C-alpha cells in the first residue's frame, strides 16, 4: 500500500518529467484535465503497478492492486467545486484519497491553507479512516503545496516539501501541533 507521502513524492517526480507538461504551451482546461487524468496520473499509476479504473462512482480515478481499491483520485480544475469532489472521495472506501485542485494566481501563499482547514474540518466531522492528500497549485506556476491528513491524528498538516533539493516549493510554511485522537 502506498502512503500519502510516497504518492506525493512519486507525483512530484513524475509531474516535472512528464513531456506533455513540459511543453510550455497554454492549454484549455479540458486539455489540461486530459493531460493530468489520462496522461500523467494514468502513467504514474501504471508505473507503480496499479490497475487504473476511470470515472467510477463520481471519482476520476481508482487505483487497484489485486482487485482491491488502494487509491481514489479526484482532479478538480478550480477549487470552488472542491467540496463536491471532497464528498465524492469520502464516499469511496480507499486507504488513500487524493484531491488535486488549483487556485488563482497570487493565491498560492494563503488559499491552500484555507482549503486544508476546510478539508480537516470535513474529515474530522466524519471521522474518516485512512490517509488523505490535498495537492494545490495555481494557474501558471509549477509550484505545488501538499497537505497530508492521517485518520490517526486530528490534524496533521505536513506541508510536504519537494523530495529533491533545489526544486520549487511554496514560500509559506505553518507549524501545526499534532493531536492524537482518543
Q: 46-66: per-residue pLDDT in tens? A: 999 999 987 666 788 999 999
pTM above 0.85? Answer: no
Assess whether pLDDT exceeds 70 at residue 178.
Answer: no
The 10s digit of each residue's pLDDT in 19-41 is 777 556 677 888 888 888 888 99
**Contact at 8 Å (CB) between 170 and 108?**
yes
Partners of 137 in beta bridges: 102
Give the separation between CA 170 and CA 14, rounded to whole angstroms: 18
3-state secondary structure at position 44: helix
Euclidean distance between CA atoms 88 and 95, whole angstroms? 15
Percentage of residues of the chain with pLDDT beyond 90? 27
pLDDT tens digits for range 111-144: 888 889 888 888 888 877 889 999 998 877 778 8
CA–CA gap between residue 161 and residue 57 (Å, rounded): 32
Please check whether residue 154 is in contact with residue 179, taking contact to mean a CB–CB distance below 8 angstroms.
yes
Rounded to whole angstroms, how far apart are CA atoms 175 and 90? Answer: 26
pLDDT at position 32: 83
The CA-based angle 64-29-145, given to 5 degrees, is: 65
CA distance linking residue 113 with residue 173, whole number of Å: 9
Amino acid at each position: 500500500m502506498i502512503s500519502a507521502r510516497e504518492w506525493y513524492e512519486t507525483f512530484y517526480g513524475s509531474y516535472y518529467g512528464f513531456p506533455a507538461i513540459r511543453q510550455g504551451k497554454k492549454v484549455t482546461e479540458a486539455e489540461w484535465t486530459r493531460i493530468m487524468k489520462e496522461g500523467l496520473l494514468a502513467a504514474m499509476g501504471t508505473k507503480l503497478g496499479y490497475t487504473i479504473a476511470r470515472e467510477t462512482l463520481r471519482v476520476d480515478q481508482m487505483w487497484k492492486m489485486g482487485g482491491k481499491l488502494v487509491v481514489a483520485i479526484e482532479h478538480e480544475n478550480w477549487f470552488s467545486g472542491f467540496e463536491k469532489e471532497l464528498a465524492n472521495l469520502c464516499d469511496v472506501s480507499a486507504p488513500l484519497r487524493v484531491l488535486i485542485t488549483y487556485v488563482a494566481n497570487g493565491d498560492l501563499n494563503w488559499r491552500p491553507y484555507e482549503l486544508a482547514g476546510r478539508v480537516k474540518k470535513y474529515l474530522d466531522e466524519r471521522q474518516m479512516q485512512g490517509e488523505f492528500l490535498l495537492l494545490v497549485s495555481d494557474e501558471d506556476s509549477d509550484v505545488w503545496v501538499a497537505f497530508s491528513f492521517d485518520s490517526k491524528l486530528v490534524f496533521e498538516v505536513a506541508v510536504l516539501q519537494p523530495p529533491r533539493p533545489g526544486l520549487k516549493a511554496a514560500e509559506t510554511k505553518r507549524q501545526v501541533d499534532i493531536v492524537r485522537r482518543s
